[in-house]
Amino acid sequence: MTTISLRQQINPHFYKMWNTNKPYVVLNGGRGSFKSSVVSLKLCVELLKFVEQRCKGNVICIMDNISHIKDAVYSQIQWALDLLGVADEFYFRVSPMTIMHRKTGNSFHFYGADDPMKLKSNKVTDVIAVWFEEFANMKSVDVFDQSVPTFIRNASPHVDHVTVYVSYNPPKNPYDWINEWVTSKENDDDYLIDHSTYLDDELGFTTPQTLKLIEGYKANDYDYYRWLYLGEVVGLGTNVYNIELFNPLDKLPDDQSINALFYSVDTGHEVSATTCGCYGLTNLGNVILLDTYYYSPQGKSHKKPPSELAKDLKGFIDKCTNEYGLQPDRMTIDSAEGALDNQFYNDYGVHWHKVNKLKNIDMVDRVQDLLAQGRFYYLDTDANKVFIEEHKKYQWDENTLQSDDPKVVKVDDHTVDQFKYFVRDNERQLGLKW
């Protein structure tokens, strides 16, 4: 085992959390505060104490979906064990998702909240701690209320209580269930509630590149910076987007080249508009709306069927391909759309990629992230004017703001939707961390 100084790995801000004896520890705050790193180190240190004492002890780690665990909390525990110099003392398994100490069998068990029955019927004994990571992504507090009693019943006889850790980044909406839940626990003596940000990093873990990125957010969209990096519950406002973050261009910048082309469609058929955006990703990582196809059937006696729309879209793509000399990198469509996709495949042998949609507020967050980095531009052409006008008018429904699932006003939002689909479907290529 490698000997390390924990004081060199844990910022002083977290000393209180590290030493508390309270059974419930809630850590919230902005991105880059290292709260998850501290929780993972704490859990590994506690489990290793049981290994040294030859006592049985297990840790439960929970996220909203089992498919998210391998690249998140599982890797976080793996990182902590490696930092402590004991990774070679453990088996790392993915089916079932466990990290087990080779000699004692003491383990980290990983579960998704999308399978609540597995949590409620959990058979793991000798539980010493539970970690709910990215807790705000869960649909409600129900998974906490229903599963925690099970883990407490299966507590190790060698602990006074099972320590339950909760970590998350607060949503913007003050009426989101988790913000209301945490507020209700502020005066509960069993709970330690800690708020941290990147500004609490006294040990210098935050790299100069990250600090530069943060300063970019701060300069471009201060409210978004307050939410993303200070972890403040800033509220939603009425307008969904800050239109000042949509940067117009008369022409493509001389210092940038288009490296990839993306297309995104929102369909309406007989009752509303069908639109397709052509987006370019540049060598500097910027996104430029190059062109927009927009067809509205309103006021037309003959409304285009899928066969005509497919022909229009193929012509639009061919035009952009010829102009920029690039084949499509990805063509995205609403996951609920079938007719146009089938027609396009029948005519041209190509399927559109169906976007994995989230709740609208989460889709909006991804667009706002791109905008707040100052990386979105559009060619100021007649074809793209409808895109800007619809984004200017895109608003939250004021009657739903005081709820945990606010709605938008669904009027003239077709380019808005296809933009969200594009960003959501290409998060990795766009360098968006979620």
Name the CATH superfamily, with its identifier, for domain 6-204. P-loop containing nucleotide triphosphate hydrolases (3.40.50.300)
With 0-12 / 13-18 / 19 or more C-beta atoms within 10 angstroms meaning exposed / middle / buried, residue 428 is exposed
The amino acid sitting at 115 is D
- Mean pLDDT along residues 301-323: 94
Neighbours of 235 (CB within 10 A): 12
Confidence band, pLDDT 50/70/90 cuts, at residue 434: low
User: Is the pLDDT score of 24 beyond 70?
Assistant: yes
* H helix intervals, 325-353: 339-348
Domain spans in the chain, listed from the N-terminal domain onward: 6-204, 243-425
0.85 surpassed by pTM: no
- Mean pLDDT along residues 372-381: 97
Give the phi and the psi of residue 312 in degrees, each rounded to 5.
Answer: -60, -45
Residue 120's contacts (CB-CB under 8 Å, 6 or more residues apart) are 146, 147, 150
pLDDT tens digit sequence for 126-179: 999 999 999 999 989 998 998 999 999 999 999 999 999 999 999 988 888 999
Q: Which of 26-40, 122-136, 273-287, 387-401 has the lowest mean pLDDT?
A: 387-401
User: Is the pLDDT score of 410 beyond 90?
Assistant: no
Percent of the chain with pLDDT over 90: 80
pLDDT at 269: 64
Q: How far apart are CA 276 and CA 217, in angstroms?
A: 29
- The residues with which 100 forms a beta bridge, in sequence order, are 91, 107
Write the DSSP assignment of 60-96 as a string of letters: EEEES-GGGTTTTHHHHHHHHHHHTT-GGGEEEEETT
pLDDT tens digit sequence for 55-111: 999 999 999 988 889 889 999 999 999 999 999 999 999 988 999 999 999 999 999
Fold of 243-425: Nucleotidyltransferase; domain 5 (3.30.420)
The amino acid sitting at 193 is I
pLDDT at 271: 72
User: Is the pLDDT score of 302 beyond 90?
Assistant: no
Q: SS in 3 state form for 240-275?
A: CCCHHHCEEECCCCCCCCEEEEEEEEECCCCCCCEE
Give the phi and the psi of residue 11 in degrees, each rounded to 5.
Answer: -65, 145
Confidence band, pLDDT 50/70/90 cuts, at residue 47: very high
pLDDT at 2: 57
pLDDT at 3: 66
pLDDT at 174: 87
pLDDT at 406: 84
Q: How far are the Cα atoms of 59, 172, 187, 433 from residue 361, in angstroms, in the given order? A: 32, 10, 30, 16
